Amino acid sequence: MKRTERRSIIYLPEDLLVEILSRVPAKSLVRLRSTSKRWNALVKDGRFAKKHYANTPKHSSLVLMVTNFRVYLVSVDYLHGKVTASAKITSQFNLQDHLSKQIDVCNAYHSDGLLVCITKDNSLVVWNPCLGQTRWIQARNSYNKNDYYALGYDDKSSCYKILRMHRVVDDITVETESEVYDFASNSWRDIGSTTEWFIQQHRSRGMYVKGTTYWLALMSEEPPFDHFLLSFDFSTERFQSLSLPLDINHQTLLGAVLSVTKEEQKLCMLATYGSDERFKSDVWIATKMESTGAMSWSNVSVDHENKVLLCCNNLRVSNYNNILHIAGEDKYVHLDHDEESKRPLLLTYVPSLVQIQQGI
């Protein structure tokens, strides 16, 4: 008589399962969700997506490169002690329409693992490359390739929003008109216009931190080019002018780029001084913000505790438009691409399980 063997299924407590799966790479979870209805439901849960994003390994260094209308995933290796850091393309993301036709991407903005993409025909689509989800956004007015965008989450209404800034240029002034798209209501609304400040094109991609996007902006296009920090709160839908570190030397400043610390999710800025051949960089972390717009900054060494800061280049130097700056290691990583292609767009990227809210 044969003995029948039964495999016992172990059901973990919900809180333990959440803790374990929140540390599994997003790409692996996407592949595994079809093996269990329980896991599939968990992956689609918004609260779990937030926890998973917060638990993303701090050593992850992924970059998206947009070139020749295609989007590539780039892995960066900056292990301490190496003479030269390296970066290589690991895969290609394919954005497709409802007919499975490949979409040409001209521009992109990143937040929470989601991309706002501007296509070759000036359409707008929100895309999660990790989940393969998309949402096409209907324009109220015609899109312009020179418009600037930002994507953020409104904690009060529990939905994502898109900020669109449109420049109107005449012989005297540059006016910035702003409008917001609400994912929940599937609608656009105007939030005002201004001639008081201006965002340069090479700094049009802001840095998103906890419901607010930040840009390095100018008070005017004419000298003395007074820089300041501009913020937009997606809950209040208001802009605010904030102060930069007082010790910044604007005379020798070659470029500056915003980033965010992974551990504490704090805004930081990499200021680069010097010439095309020799660079010196300072890293500043925002420590406190007053309601008046006064910002406290701390000058830090990213070498402390073997930490590094990865920034996508935005220096206005023609020879350096395809580099990643790894502060703390004193390294610049050049990304090779087709000589005949346009200069690539580089975006720091973290895969996420954030679901794209569909329209009503």
Instruction: Give the pLDDT score at 298.
Output: 87
pLDDT at residue number 116: 94
- Identify the CA nearest to 232 among candidates 255, 267, 207: 207
- Below-50 pLDDT ranges, the chain: 1, 81, 83, 304-306, 314-322, 328-334, 339-341
pLDDT, one tens digit per residue, over 53-81 is: 888 765 556 788 888 888 988 877 655 54
pLDDT tens across 288-326, in order?
Answer: 877 777 888 988 765 544 455 566 654 444 444 445 555
pTM listed for this prediction:
0.82
Q: How far apart are CA 207 and CA 213, in angstroms?
A: 5
Which pLDDT value is given to residue 14? Answer: 83
CA distances to 65, 191, 314, 335, 343 from 321, in Å: 12, 33, 7, 9, 7
* pLDDT at position 75: 77
Residue 28, SS3? helix
Q: Note the pLDDT of residue 359.
A: 65
Q: How high is the pLDDT of residue 250?
A: 63
Q: Name the residue type at position 226.
A: D
Q: Where are the domains of the chain?
A: 10-55, 56-349
Range list of H helices, the chain: 14-21, 26-32, 37-43, 46-54
pLDDT at 269: 86
For domain 56-349, the CATH architecture is 6 Propeller (2.120)
C-alpha distances out from residue 275 to 253, 279, 281, 284, 316, Å = 9, 6, 12, 21, 12
**Residue 55 contacts by C-beta under 8 Å, 6 or more apart in sequence?**
22, 23
